[in-house]
Amino acid sequence: MRNTIHACAAQWVLGVVSQAEAKLAKVLDIYEARLPKFKYLASDKYTIADMLHLPNLQSLMGTPAKKLFDSRPRVKAWCSEILARPAWAKPFGQVPVFQDEELTLFESRAIMRFISHAYQKSGKEQVFMTPKLQGIAAGWIDVEDHQFDPPASKLTAGAGVQAEERLADG
């Protein structure tokens, strides 16, 4: 009985992973088509639209889903570049909660958006001041939030479940 339940669970996980890979592949195809036009997703400047991808990218690079990125040369180069940025590669620590005077933020996207706006340095902006560019960046932020993140999160979770199953099987 236990083996039957385990086999059914494994099949379910494989189905979820397969669907997530297909959804993520479609998003990455869009990125691959976008990246010849600009160095980063929203423009030639590194912005919050790129930053928001970092946690999932970091997780996925250690899973079989890495092949989805490696098979797209422009996406692969973009991933390599943003993952190698010193602020990401050597962070000074994790920030589970962000406080600024009376403001307390708990969600990573909200924290990143706030910091990008509040602490921008001349020449180092991760947000745009002109409405047209704000709209472009907002579009890519929405793509990350609604199209990239859901399948990427499922693939990360699926990789963890598959690793646990391999350990359980010996």
Contacts 24+ apart (CB under 8 A), 81-84: 82/40, 82/46, 82/50, 82/51, 82/53, 82/54, 82/57, 83/54, 83/57, 83/58
Q: What tokens does 107 get?
A: 């969600």
pTM: 0.67
At 80-134, the pLDDT tens digits run 999 998 777 665 555 445 667 777 766 666 776 777 667 666 666 566 677 887 7
The domain total for the chain is 1
The verdict on residue 154 lying in a domain is: no
The domain containing residue 100 runs over which residues?
Answer: 23-149
- Residue 73 forms part of a structural domain: yes
Residue 40 lies in a domain: yes
**What's CA 88's distance to the chain center, in Å?**
13
Residue 170: inside a domain? no
Mean pLDDT along residues 40-61: 90
Assign residue 137 the CATH number of its domain. Answer: 1.20.1050
51: which 2 tokens?
């930053």
Taking phi first (over 0 means left), then psi (-120 to 50 degrees means alpha), and beta for anything else, what does residue 127 get?
A: beta
For residue 1, being part of any structural domain is answered with no
Is residue 8, in this structure, part of any structural domain at all? no
